[in-house]
Structure 1
Amino acid sequence: MALELWIRLSTLNSTLLEILPLSLTTPVGALSRSPPAHGRIHQLLVAHIALRRAAGSLQKHFGLPVAAIIAYTLWGETDSAYQVLLEVLRPAWYSRERLCSSATSSTMWFVYGWIKLSTVALACAAISDTDAATGLILLRTSAESSDRRCPDLAAFLQWTTYSPPLFFSAAGFFNVDRSLLVNALAVIITYVVILGQITPSE
């Protein structure tokens, strides 16, 4: 769903880039005879509002499950990294306790969990960046055409300017974006170091 939302926002931006130059280069006297471009801007405004509402609904219904999935993934990542650390640093104790079949399986689980976490974080970050790009396109266009403003363009610009930035959170516990990957890596390293220190040497 997140990727579909990103695709629709990207398509909207591409359409804006195709329509706005046509609107800006149209002579003033020809504006009344060629309203489709300006009418299309209004359609894109309505589409953008609908996509914003879809993003809000997506976050409302899936915020808590995403928080649970990320928490479970972090737990699994920490456990996998700890298993690898044990086999590398303390192979005798590790083989005696038989905590896992091999470091290879733990490494594979770590990679799988990290890919899943990265997919969620980067998808949400891409949606936020694409939505912000819409406002930048409209702002640049408005600055270049300050002598002849289109009412639909002005309304679209006002909507993107005064709307809060689009971001995703896991039920309000933390934001789901690129910073999540950095924070997750810091948490994994911290707990693995602590577990490594309290693990008996023999």
Structure 2
Amino acid sequence: MEAALETLTSTSNLRAQYMAVLREMRQLQDHFGLSVACDVAANIITLLYSIDFFISFATMGYQMRIVTISTISICYSLLRLLVVAETCAAASSGADEVRSLFAECSVEVPPLHFSAAGFFYVDRPLLVSVLSITVTYVVVLFQFHSV
């Protein structure tokens, strides 16, 4: 009886801590969600502009320095997107593990997801979306440059 009461108390404490983390995450999201959305948008714009710059100057035979700077800018934008998305995805997957522990105890807790001001979720599928946008943009640029 005493062990069951102790388990119930520890589960209750764990749920209270999870809910506190969830409240803090939502408060952070309220404060920084728009900033993250703007940062992701700026990285996508920088990425696409750098690709355009790269294709334009590489096909015209300009100096290698300009092409190298464009390549560095492309890598930097992709790296920034990767870091933000992976950080948010790691936090969400850690929260999912805790949720599965609660599910075993038949305790329901809300999921933890990071969004950019409610516009989109910041996680690994965001990287796939950005990559598909980039590939589509590059295909269109090559079609215009070949005409």
- TM-score interval w.r.t. the shorter chain? 0.7 to 0.9
Contact 1:82 1:196 in 2 (8 A): no
- Structure 1 residue 53, shift from structure 2 partner: 0.3
2:31 maps to 1:67: no
In 2, Cα distance between equivalents of 1:62 and 1:43: 28
Q: In structure 2, the residue corresponding to 1:170 is in which secondary structure?
A: coil
In 1, Cα distance between equivalents of 2:120 and 2:3: 48
- Tell me which of 116, 119, 143 is aligned to 1:173: 119
- Structure 1 residue 117, shift from structure 2 partner: 0.5
In 2, Cα distance between equivalents of 1:101 and 1:132: 46
TM-score by length of 1: 0.63
Letter in 1 for 2:118: G
- Structure 1 residue 42, shift from structure 2 partner: 2.6
Provide structure 1 residue ranges, at least 5 long, that are not aligned to the other structure: 1-27, 143-153
Q: In structure 1, the residue corresponding to 2:122 is in which secondary structure?
A: coil
1:79 counterpart residue number:
49
1:18 counterpart residue number:
none
Question: What's the RMSD between the two structures over aligned residues?
Answer: 2.4
In 1, Cα distance between equivalents of 2:65 and 2:3: 73
2:26 counterpart residue number:
56
Correspondence 1:84-163 to 2 at 5 A: 84-88=54-58, 90-92=59-61, 95=62, 101-140=65-104, 142=105, 157-158=107-108, 160=109, 163=110
- Higher alpha-carbon Rg: 1
TM-score by length of 2: 0.84
Q: In structure 1, the residue corresponding to 2:34 is in which secondary structure?
A: helix
Letter in 1 for 2:91: I
Q: In structure 2, the residue corresponding to 1:190 is in which secondary structure?
A: helix
Q: How many residues align?
A: 147
In 2, Cα distance between equivalents of 1:31 and 1:127: 32
